[in-house]
Amino acid sequence: MLPGKARFMLVSGYLGAVIGAGFASGQEIVQFFVVYGGFGLKGCILAGALFAILGGVLLSGAHRHKKSNYQNLLQTWLGVRAGAIFDILLALFLFLGISTMLSASGAVFYEHLYLPKGLGVFISYSVVMLLLFIGKKGLIASYNILVPIKIVLLLIISSYLCWGMPHKEVVSFTAFGVPAGQARWALSAILYVAYNFTLAMVVLTEYQTVTSRRDGVIGAMWGGLILGVLVILNYMALTRFMPTVIHYQVPMLYISGQISPLAKNIYTLVLWIGIITTAIANAYGITQRVAHFMKIRFQLGLVVCMTLALPLSMLSFSQLVGTIYPLFGLLGIILMLSLLLKEGKDIVGEIYYNIEQLYRTRRR
């Protein structure tokens, strides 16, 4: 595979996993960055750097250990017993993540398109099933198609909100409160990366078999840097409307509506695509695990997992998010620490070995 194509696939996979309903809605950016005022920009930069570093280290480790699924990689980092426990917890949250995204789709249809919630749930259920029915090829192909559309629309609207909208049209206030303890902006950025990287790991490890180590690392790092840029753009757009945006469940839809009704409708599409790409990542991860454990075909496992997720999807989206996301964050912190300790140590050792060999060669 050509290096450029391989790196593009990695970038699409990374962006598809992270830019889901929470990011596209603007709620994540408000809660983790915007509320910290000027310090939030430092948090955005830190988050982008962490996404790039962690993505590169993850792909490097996946190629070094020749692991193309997250279960085997977890056992390499944490050991067989701890890895198995972490795998079970992660599988549970991936399953609940499907319900959360289906519920989010229903909320978009009900609150913004004025259509029945059940219709939104059914359509997203059908789209995910259709795109994933051929397995890993479906995962990669769907990301290669959906993610560029989502990113282009997101860039256009966010950029216009940052620099194109005349100042007089911005309805906002000039002062807002910053949470006590200004140093918390760094902790907030780390937590944001932690719970997003958990799902990203499930997707990125699948690219080990279709990329070289060099292309995988470069593609993942580019994906992390682009994520950082998108976080900064959304932060700048949302900051112009503080503190008004704090009172909205979907802040980006509110500020898109300040441009025009058409812009709001376009951003509704961005939000829904974000929901679908996140649902795809969750569904692929849990289906792969269930199919392997039950010794059944991937397609049958997909039908089982998606169908079992339907009852929970009828619960409130905000209720599901409030329960699941904090626990995802805890898993993410454990994952980040194990990744950096295990792979970071190996990378430092490899660099030291290469330097030592170079020094000995020159002495001869």
Q: What DSSP string describes 252-289? A: HHHHHHTT-HHHHHHHHHHHHHHHHHHHHHHHHHHHHH
pLDDT at 172 over 70: no
Q: Are 189 and 28 in contact (CB under 8 A)?
A: no
- Give the HSE-up count for residue 110: Cα atoms under 13 Å, Cβ half-sphere: 15
pLDDT at 178 over 80: no
Q: Which amino acid is at 269?
A: L
Identify whether 357 is part of a domain.
Answer: no
Question: Domain span at residue 284?
Answer: 3-337
% residues pLDDT > 70 (the chain): 86
Gap between the Cα atoms of 250 and 179, Å rounded: 21
Q: Are 14 and 231 in contact (CB under 8 A)?
A: no
Gap between the Cα atoms of 206 and 63, Å rounded: 11
Q: What is the pLDDT of residue 182?
A: 58
Q: Are 134 and 358 in contact (CB under 8 A)?
A: no
Q: What is the pLDDT of residue 174?
A: 45
Across the chain, what does the average pLDDT equal? 81
Q: What is the pLDDT of residue 67?
A: 78
**Least-confidence region, from 1-10, 84-93, 174-183:** 174-183
Report, as an integer, the average pLDDT of 76-85. Answer: 80
Identify whether 355 is part of a domain.
Answer: no
Q: What is the pLDDT of residue 341?
A: 81
- Among 30, 28, 24, smallest CA distance to 247 is for 30
Higher pLDDT residue, 232 or 163? 232
pLDDT at 226 over 60: yes
Identify whether 305 is part of a domain.
Answer: yes
Report, as an integer, the average pLDDT of 37-55. Answer: 91
Instruction: Give the N- to C-terminal CA distance of the chain in Å, as an integer.
Output: 39
Q: What is the pLDDT of residues 18-44, one digit of tens each?
A: 887 778 778 788 888 988 888 899 999
Report, as an integer, the average pLDDT of 125-139. Answer: 84
Gap between the Cα atoms of 63 and 238, Å rounded: 39
Q: What is the pLDDT of residues 261-283, one digit of tens each?
A: 888 888 888 888 888 888 888 89
Q: Which amino acid is at 100?
A: T
pLDDT at 171 over 70: no
Identify whether 38 is part of a domain.
Answer: yes
Report, as an integer, the average pLDDT of 44-48. Answer: 93
Identify whether 345 is part of a domain.
Answer: no
> Please, what's the b/e burial string for 77-88 (b: 16 or more CB within 10 A of its CB; e: otherwise)?
bbeeeebeebbe
Tally the domains of the chain: 1
CA 328 to chain CA centroid, nearest Å: 12
Gap between the Cα atoms of 285 and 71, Å rounded: 10
Q: Which one of 6-20, 187-201, 295-309, 316-330 scores highest in mean pLDDT?
A: 295-309
Q: Which CATH number does the domain housing residue 174 bear?
A: 1.10.4160.10
pLDDT at 362 over 70: no
Identify whether 351 is part of a domain.
Answer: no
- Where helices occur in the chain by DSSP H, the ranges are 3-18, 21-25, 27-32, 39-64, 70-78, 80-111, 117-132, 136-159, 184-204, 213-239, 251-257, 261-294, 298-313, 317-363
Report, as an integer, the average pLDDT of 100-116. Answer: 84
**Least-confidence region, from 23-27, 177-181, 359-363:** 177-181
